[in-house]
Amino acid sequence: MGYKVAVVGATGNVGREMLSILDERGFPADEVVALASRRSQGTEVSFGDKTLKVKPLDQHDFHDTDICLMSAGGEVSKQWSPKIGAQGCVVIDNSSAFRYDQDVPLIVPEVNADAVSGFTKKNIIANPNCSTAQLVVALKPLHDFATIKRVVVSTYQSVSGAGKEGMDELFQQSRAVFVADPVERKKFTKRIAFNVIPHIDVFMEDGSTKEEWKVMVETKKMLDPKIKVTCTAVRVPVFIGHSEAVNIEFDKPITADEARDILRQAPGCLVIDKHEDGGYITPYESAGEDATYISRIREDQTLENGLNIWVVSDNLRKGAALNTVQIAELLVNRGLLKQKHAA
Protein backbone atom coordinates (compact mmCIF):
# COMPACT_ATOMS: atom_id res chain seq x y z
CA MET A 1 0.00 0.00 0.00
CA GLY A 2 1.29 3.44 -0.91
CA TYR A 3 0.83 6.97 0.39
CA LYS A 4 -1.64 9.70 -0.40
CA VAL A 5 0.37 12.68 -1.65
CA ALA A 6 -0.78 16.25 -2.25
CA VAL A 7 1.22 18.65 -4.44
CA VAL A 8 0.34 22.28 -3.69
CA GLY A 9 1.35 24.72 -6.45
CA ALA A 10 0.92 21.94 -9.02
CA THR A 11 0.50 24.40 -11.90
CA GLY A 12 3.78 26.20 -11.11
CA ASN A 13 7.33 25.64 -12.33
CA VAL A 14 8.32 23.67 -9.24
CA GLY A 15 4.98 21.87 -8.75
CA ARG A 16 4.97 20.48 -12.30
CA GLU A 17 8.53 19.29 -11.82
CA MET A 18 7.53 17.63 -8.53
CA LEU A 19 4.83 15.65 -10.29
CA SER A 20 7.22 14.40 -12.95
CA ILE A 21 9.91 13.52 -10.39
CA LEU A 22 7.43 11.62 -8.17
CA ASP A 23 6.55 9.58 -11.25
CA GLU A 24 10.13 9.18 -12.58
CA ARG A 25 11.43 7.92 -9.25
CA GLY A 26 8.43 5.67 -8.61
CA PHE A 27 7.52 7.28 -5.29
CA PRO A 28 5.21 4.81 -3.47
CA ALA A 29 2.01 6.82 -3.93
CA ASP A 30 -1.46 5.29 -4.20
CA GLU A 31 -2.98 8.64 -4.96
CA VAL A 32 -1.54 12.01 -5.99
CA VAL A 33 -3.72 15.12 -5.70
CA ALA A 34 -2.80 18.28 -7.64
CA LEU A 35 -3.72 21.50 -5.81
CA ALA A 36 -3.34 25.18 -6.67
CA SER A 37 -5.35 28.38 -6.31
CA ARG A 38 -9.03 28.66 -7.31
CA ARG A 39 -7.82 30.31 -10.54
CA SER A 40 -6.54 26.93 -11.74
CA GLN A 41 -9.53 24.80 -10.79
CA GLY A 42 -10.01 22.18 -13.52
CA THR A 43 -6.66 22.86 -15.23
CA GLU A 44 -4.95 19.64 -16.26
CA VAL A 45 -1.40 18.75 -15.27
CA SER A 46 0.65 15.70 -16.25
CA PHE A 47 1.62 12.97 -13.83
CA GLY A 48 3.56 10.39 -15.83
CA ASP A 49 1.19 9.16 -18.52
CA LYS A 50 -1.85 10.27 -16.49
CA THR A 51 -3.52 13.65 -16.37
CA LEU A 52 -4.64 15.15 -13.08
CA LYS A 53 -7.35 17.79 -12.72
CA VAL A 54 -6.21 20.59 -10.44
CA LYS A 55 -8.34 21.25 -7.35
CA PRO A 56 -8.36 24.35 -5.16
CA LEU A 57 -6.17 24.13 -2.07
CA ASP A 58 -8.83 25.72 0.15
CA GLN A 59 -11.31 22.94 -0.66
CA HIS A 60 -9.01 20.02 0.12
CA ASP A 61 -9.36 18.05 3.37
CA PHE A 62 -5.90 16.89 4.49
CA HIS A 63 -7.13 14.45 7.14
CA ASP A 64 -6.39 11.39 5.01
CA THR A 65 -3.40 12.87 3.14
CA ASP A 66 -0.02 11.51 4.35
CA ILE A 67 2.37 14.01 2.83
CA CYS A 68 2.06 17.45 1.24
CA LEU A 69 4.71 18.83 -1.11
CA MET A 70 4.14 22.56 -0.83
CA SER A 71 5.32 24.97 -3.51
CA ALA A 72 3.01 27.95 -3.64
CA GLY A 73 5.12 30.76 -2.13
CA GLY A 74 5.76 32.01 1.39
CA GLU A 75 2.41 33.63 2.14
CA VAL A 76 0.40 30.55 1.14
CA SER A 77 2.76 28.37 3.15
CA LYS A 78 2.53 30.56 6.29
CA GLN A 79 -1.25 30.34 6.11
CA TRP A 80 -1.57 26.65 5.25
CA SER A 81 1.45 24.59 6.36
CA PRO A 82 0.72 24.78 10.13
CA LYS A 83 -2.95 23.85 9.52
CA ILE A 84 -2.00 20.93 7.26
CA GLY A 85 0.68 19.76 9.72
CA ALA A 86 -1.84 19.91 12.55
CA GLN A 87 -4.01 17.47 10.60
CA GLY A 88 -1.19 14.90 10.80
CA CYS A 89 -0.02 15.42 7.23
CA VAL A 90 3.74 16.01 6.88
CA VAL A 91 4.49 19.17 4.89
CA ILE A 92 7.70 19.59 2.89
CA ASP A 93 7.78 23.28 2.07
CA ASN A 94 9.70 24.95 -0.73
CA SER A 95 9.22 28.52 0.41
CA SER A 96 11.37 30.41 2.91
CA ALA A 97 8.48 30.69 5.40
CA PHE A 98 9.80 28.08 7.89
CA ARG A 99 13.47 27.63 6.91
CA TYR A 100 14.78 29.66 9.84
CA ASP A 101 12.41 28.21 12.45
CA GLN A 102 14.41 26.24 15.03
CA ASP A 103 11.61 23.66 15.24
CA VAL A 104 11.66 23.01 11.49
CA PRO A 105 14.50 20.97 9.97
CA LEU A 106 16.06 22.40 6.80
CA ILE A 107 17.22 19.43 4.77
CA VAL A 108 19.42 18.47 1.85
CA PRO A 109 19.62 14.67 2.13
CA GLU A 110 23.26 14.46 0.94
CA VAL A 111 24.25 16.95 3.66
CA ASN A 112 22.20 16.60 6.85
CA ALA A 113 19.78 13.69 6.46
CA ASP A 114 19.86 12.87 10.19
CA ALA A 115 18.35 16.24 11.10
CA VAL A 116 15.09 15.20 9.41
CA SER A 117 13.84 13.42 12.54
CA GLY A 118 13.21 16.85 14.12
CA PHE A 119 10.15 17.38 11.91
CA THR A 120 7.66 16.00 14.45
CA LYS A 121 7.45 19.27 16.43
CA LYS A 122 5.48 20.99 13.65
CA ASN A 123 5.10 18.28 11.01
CA ILE A 124 6.93 20.66 8.65
CA ILE A 125 10.26 20.18 6.87
CA ALA A 126 11.82 23.02 4.90
CA ASN A 127 13.52 22.78 1.54
CA PRO A 128 16.36 25.29 1.08
CA ASN A 129 16.71 28.13 -1.35
CA CYS A 130 17.73 26.85 -4.78
CA SER A 131 21.19 28.48 -4.67
CA THR A 132 21.94 27.07 -1.23
CA ALA A 133 20.90 23.52 -2.13
CA GLN A 134 23.48 23.06 -4.89
CA LEU A 135 26.13 24.98 -2.94
CA VAL A 136 25.97 22.74 0.15
CA VAL A 137 25.95 19.54 -1.97
CA ALA A 138 29.37 20.64 -3.31
CA LEU A 139 30.72 22.04 -0.03
CA LYS A 140 29.81 19.15 2.30
CA PRO A 141 32.32 16.54 1.02
CA LEU A 142 35.10 19.16 0.95
CA HIS A 143 34.21 20.31 4.48
CA ASP A 144 34.45 16.68 5.66
CA PHE A 145 38.03 16.53 4.33
CA ALA A 146 39.27 19.99 5.40
CA THR A 147 37.18 22.30 7.55
CA ILE A 148 35.86 25.24 5.56
CA LYS A 149 36.46 28.62 7.22
CA ARG A 150 34.99 31.00 4.67
CA VAL A 151 33.03 30.89 1.42
CA VAL A 152 32.66 33.73 -1.11
CA VAL A 153 29.95 32.91 -3.63
CA SER A 154 28.69 34.81 -6.68
CA THR A 155 25.50 33.38 -8.17
CA TYR A 156 24.25 33.52 -11.76
CA GLN A 157 20.58 32.63 -11.28
CA SER A 158 18.16 31.70 -14.03
CA VAL A 159 14.78 33.36 -14.47
CA SER A 160 12.86 30.15 -13.63
CA GLY A 161 13.93 30.82 -10.04
CA ALA A 162 11.38 33.66 -10.19
CA GLY A 163 8.53 31.32 -11.16
CA LYS A 164 6.70 30.93 -14.43
CA GLU A 165 6.21 34.72 -14.66
CA GLY A 166 10.00 35.14 -14.70
CA MET A 167 10.36 32.75 -17.63
CA ASP A 168 7.55 34.48 -19.52
CA GLU A 169 9.22 37.86 -18.99
CA LEU A 170 12.57 36.75 -20.42
CA PHE A 171 10.80 35.20 -23.40
CA GLN A 172 8.58 38.23 -24.08
CA GLN A 173 11.39 40.74 -23.67
CA SER A 174 13.77 38.77 -25.92
CA ARG A 175 11.07 38.53 -28.57
CA ALA A 176 10.34 42.26 -28.25
CA VAL A 177 14.02 43.11 -28.77
CA PHE A 178 14.15 41.09 -31.99
CA VAL A 179 10.96 42.52 -33.49
CA ALA A 180 11.72 46.06 -32.22
CA ASP A 181 8.64 46.19 -29.96
CA PRO A 182 8.79 48.12 -26.66
CA VAL A 183 10.40 46.00 -23.91
CA GLU A 184 7.91 45.67 -21.04
CA ARG A 185 8.98 45.01 -17.47
CA LYS A 186 6.72 43.41 -14.81
CA LYS A 187 8.43 40.85 -12.61
CA PHE A 188 12.04 42.01 -12.64
CA THR A 189 13.28 45.41 -11.46
CA LYS A 190 15.21 46.08 -14.68
CA ARG A 191 15.18 44.59 -18.15
CA ILE A 192 16.42 40.98 -17.99
CA ALA A 193 16.72 40.20 -21.72
CA PHE A 194 20.38 40.64 -22.77
CA ASN A 195 21.17 42.00 -19.32
CA VAL A 196 22.06 40.89 -15.77
CA ILE A 197 20.49 42.21 -12.55
CA PRO A 198 22.46 42.25 -9.26
CA HIS A 199 19.30 42.15 -7.16
CA ILE A 200 17.18 39.15 -6.06
CA ASP A 201 14.53 39.52 -3.33
CA VAL A 202 14.28 42.56 -1.06
CA PHE A 203 17.12 44.71 0.30
CA MET A 204 18.30 44.20 3.90
CA GLU A 205 19.51 46.94 6.25
CA ASP A 206 23.21 46.22 5.59
CA GLY A 207 22.77 46.65 1.81
CA SER A 208 22.75 42.95 1.00
CA THR A 209 19.66 41.33 -0.50
CA LYS A 210 17.45 38.73 1.17
CA GLU A 211 18.60 36.13 -1.37
CA GLU A 212 22.22 36.72 -0.33
CA TRP A 213 21.23 36.53 3.33
CA LYS A 214 19.38 33.24 2.72
CA VAL A 215 22.48 31.61 1.20
CA MET A 216 24.51 32.63 4.25
CA VAL A 217 22.00 31.63 6.95
CA GLU A 218 20.89 28.38 5.30
CA THR A 219 24.47 27.20 4.67
CA LYS A 220 25.23 27.76 8.35
CA LYS A 221 22.06 25.95 9.47
CA MET A 222 22.68 22.87 7.32
CA LEU A 223 26.46 22.60 7.14
CA ASP A 224 28.19 24.34 10.02
CA PRO A 225 27.31 27.50 11.98
CA LYS A 226 31.02 28.42 12.15
CA ILE A 227 31.45 28.83 8.38
CA LYS A 228 31.58 32.45 7.23
CA VAL A 229 29.61 33.00 4.03
CA THR A 230 29.33 36.06 1.84
CA CYS A 231 27.27 36.12 -1.35
CA THR A 232 26.43 38.29 -4.36
CA ALA A 233 23.26 37.02 -6.04
CA VAL A 234 22.67 37.98 -9.67
CA ARG A 235 19.77 37.22 -12.03
CA VAL A 236 20.91 36.29 -15.53
CA PRO A 237 19.00 35.76 -18.80
CA VAL A 238 19.09 31.95 -18.63
CA PHE A 239 15.82 29.99 -18.51
CA ILE A 240 16.83 27.05 -16.31
CA GLY A 241 19.97 26.29 -14.27
CA HIS A 242 21.73 28.28 -11.60
CA SER A 243 25.52 28.71 -11.69
CA GLU A 244 27.85 29.73 -8.89
CA ALA A 245 31.47 30.87 -8.78
CA VAL A 246 32.65 29.77 -5.34
CA ASN A 247 35.84 30.70 -3.52
CA ILE A 248 36.54 28.52 -0.48
CA GLU A 249 39.08 28.98 2.33
CA PHE A 250 39.99 25.86 4.32
CA ASP A 251 41.79 25.36 7.63
CA LYS A 252 44.38 23.07 6.03
CA PRO A 253 45.85 22.52 2.57
CA ILE A 254 43.73 20.80 -0.09
CA THR A 255 44.94 20.48 -3.67
CA ALA A 256 42.75 20.79 -6.74
CA ASP A 257 43.44 17.11 -7.49
CA GLU A 258 42.32 16.07 -4.00
CA ALA A 259 39.16 18.16 -4.32
CA ARG A 260 38.42 16.64 -7.73
CA ASP A 261 38.78 13.10 -6.34
CA ILE A 262 36.60 13.88 -3.30
CA LEU A 263 33.87 15.48 -5.41
CA ARG A 264 33.93 12.61 -7.95
CA GLN A 265 32.91 10.23 -5.17
CA ALA A 266 30.47 12.54 -3.39
CA PRO A 267 26.72 11.81 -3.47
CA GLY A 268 24.81 14.05 -5.87
CA CYS A 269 27.98 15.52 -7.42
CA LEU A 270 29.24 15.11 -10.97
CA VAL A 271 32.66 16.52 -11.88
CA ILE A 272 33.19 17.79 -15.43
CA ASP A 273 36.57 19.44 -15.35
CA LYS A 274 38.84 19.23 -18.37
CA HIS A 275 41.21 22.08 -19.05
CA GLU A 276 40.16 22.42 -22.68
CA ASP A 277 37.50 24.18 -24.77
CA GLY A 278 34.08 23.08 -23.54
CA GLY A 279 35.51 20.92 -20.75
CA TYR A 280 33.13 22.41 -18.17
CA ILE A 281 29.39 22.56 -17.51
CA THR A 282 27.02 25.37 -18.41
CA PRO A 283 23.48 25.86 -17.03
CA TYR A 284 21.88 24.97 -20.38
CA GLU A 285 23.34 21.47 -20.09
CA SER A 286 22.18 21.04 -16.50
CA ALA A 287 18.47 21.58 -17.32
CA GLY A 288 16.44 18.43 -16.74
CA GLU A 289 19.31 16.73 -14.90
CA ASP A 290 19.56 15.75 -11.24
CA ALA A 291 23.27 16.26 -10.58
CA THR A 292 25.09 19.13 -8.99
CA TYR A 293 27.88 19.67 -11.52
CA ILE A 294 31.30 20.93 -10.53
CA SER A 295 33.84 22.36 -12.98
CA ARG A 296 36.84 24.71 -13.02
CA ILE A 297 38.34 23.27 -9.82
CA ARG A 298 41.57 25.14 -9.14
CA GLU A 299 43.76 26.36 -6.33
CA ASP A 300 43.47 30.04 -5.42
CA GLN A 301 47.04 31.34 -5.59
CA THR A 302 46.11 34.48 -3.59
CA LEU A 303 44.94 32.59 -0.52
CA GLU A 304 46.49 30.09 1.88
CA ASN A 305 44.43 26.88 1.57
CA GLY A 306 42.04 28.32 -1.00
CA LEU A 307 40.12 26.76 -3.88
CA ASN A 308 37.89 28.10 -6.64
CA ILE A 309 35.08 25.97 -8.07
CA TRP A 310 32.17 26.44 -10.52
CA VAL A 311 28.90 24.81 -9.42
CA VAL A 312 25.86 24.38 -11.69
CA SER A 313 22.52 22.65 -11.19
CA ASP A 314 18.93 22.66 -12.43
CA ASN A 315 17.29 25.01 -9.92
CA LEU A 316 13.85 23.48 -10.47
CA ARG A 317 15.18 20.00 -9.69
CA LYS A 318 17.99 19.86 -7.07
CA GLY A 319 17.17 23.44 -6.10
CA ALA A 320 13.53 22.60 -5.44
CA ALA A 321 11.43 19.64 -6.68
CA LEU A 322 14.05 16.89 -6.66
CA ASN A 323 15.29 17.80 -3.19
CA THR A 324 11.68 17.83 -1.92
CA VAL A 325 11.01 14.35 -3.31
CA GLN A 326 14.34 13.13 -1.90
CA ILE A 327 13.23 14.35 1.54
CA ALA A 328 9.94 12.47 1.11
CA GLU A 329 11.91 9.32 0.17
CA LEU A 330 14.12 9.83 3.22
CA LEU A 331 11.02 9.82 5.45
CA VAL A 332 9.75 6.64 3.79
CA ASN A 333 13.13 4.86 3.92
CA ARG A 334 13.56 5.67 7.62
CA GLY A 335 10.01 4.57 8.46
CA LEU A 336 9.10 8.10 9.57
CA LEU A 337 6.06 8.55 7.32
CA LYS A 338 2.85 7.00 8.62
CA GLN A 339 0.02 5.96 6.31
CA LYS A 340 -3.31 7.33 7.46
CA HIS A 341 -5.73 6.02 4.89
CA ALA A 342 -7.09 2.49 4.62
CA ALA A 343 -6.08 0.26 1.68
Ligand X SMILES: NC(=O)c1ccc[n+]([C@@H]2O[C@H](COP(=O)([O-])OP(=O)(O)OC[C@H]3O[C@@H](n4cnc5c(N)ncnc54)[C@H](OP(=O)(O)O)[C@@H]3O)[C@@H](O)[C@H]2O)c1
By CB under 6 A, how many residues form the interface with ligand X? 30
Burial of 283 (0-12, 13-18, 19+ CB in 10 A): buried
Residue 229 contacts residue 220 (beta carbons within 8 Å): yes
CB of 221 to ligand X, least distance (A): 16
Q: Are 37 and 56 a contacting pair, CB within 8 Å?
A: yes
Compute the least distance from the CB of residue 326 to ligand X, in Å.
14
* CB-side neighbour CA atoms (13 Å) of 341: 17
Chosen residue from 65, 81, 94, 286 binding ligand X by CB under 6 A: 94
Task: Identify the residue among 163, 176, 260, 272 touching ligand X (CB under 6 A).
Answer: 163
Which amino acid, one-letter code, is at 52? L
Least Cβ distance, residue 101 to ligand X (angstroms): 15
Q: Which CB, 12 or 105, lies closer to ligand X?
A: 12
For 201, left (φ over 0), alpha (ψ -120 to 50), or beta? left
Q: Indicate whether 241 belongs to the interface with ligand X (CB under 6 A).
A: no
Q: Which stretch binds ligand X (CB under 6 A): 72-80, 104-112, 299-307, 335-343?
A: 72-80
321 DSSP 8-state letter: I
Residue 89 annotated among the catalytic residues of the structure:
no
The answer to whether the CB of 268 falls within 8 A of the CB of 113 is: no
Please check whether residue 63 is in contact with residue 87, taking contact to mean a CB–CB distance below 8 angstroms.
yes
User: Could you say whether residue 160 binds ligand X (CB under 6 A)?
Assistant: yes
- Structural contact between residues 32 and 19, judged by C-beta atoms closer than 8 angstroms: yes
Phi, psi of 211 (to 5 degrees): -60, -40
The verdict on 73 binding ligand X (CB under 6 A) reads yes
Whichever of 148 and 162 has its CB closer to ligand X, that residue is 162
Chain-centroid distance of CA 333 in Å reads: 21
Torsion 338-119-332-45 (CA) sign: positive
**Does the footprint of ligand X cover residue 76 (CB under 6 A)?**
yes
Q: Is 315 in the site for ligand X (CB under 6 A)?
A: yes
37 assigned ligand-binding residue? no
Q: In this complex, which beta carbon is closest to ligand X, that of residue 10 or of residue 21? A: 10
Q: Please, what is the minimum distance in Å from the beta carbon of residue 319 to ligand X?
A: 5
Contact 204, 241 (CB under 8 A): no
Residues whose CB is less than 8 angstroms from the CB of residue 302 and which lie 6 or more positions away in sequence, other chains included? none
**Residue 242 annotated to the active site:** yes
Binding span for ligand X by CB under 6 A among 82-90, 106-114, 161-169, 227-235: 161-169
Q: By CB under 6 A, is residue 319 in contact with ligand X?
A: yes
The reply to whether 11 sits near ligand X by the rule CB under 6 A is yes
Query: Considering the rule CB under 6 A, would residue 95 count as an interface residue with ligand X?
Result: yes
Q: Please identify which residue in 36, 135, 234, 238 interacts with ligand X, judged by CB under 6 A.
A: 36
Q: Which burial class, exposed, middle or buried, applies to 226 when counting CB atoms under 10 A from its CB (0-12, 13-18, 19+)? A: exposed
Asked whether 265 and 276 are in contact (CB, 8 A), the reply is no
Residues that bind ligand X (CB under 6 A): 8-15, 36-37, 39-40, 57, 71-74, 76, 94-95, 130, 160-161, 163-165, 315-316, 319-320
Residue set of the binding site: 11-14, 39-40, 99, 157, 160-161, 182, 235, 315
Q: Hey, which residues are catalytic here?
A: 130, 242
Residue set of the binding site for substrate: 157, 235
Residue set of the binding site for NADP(+): 11-14, 39-40, 160-161, 182, 315
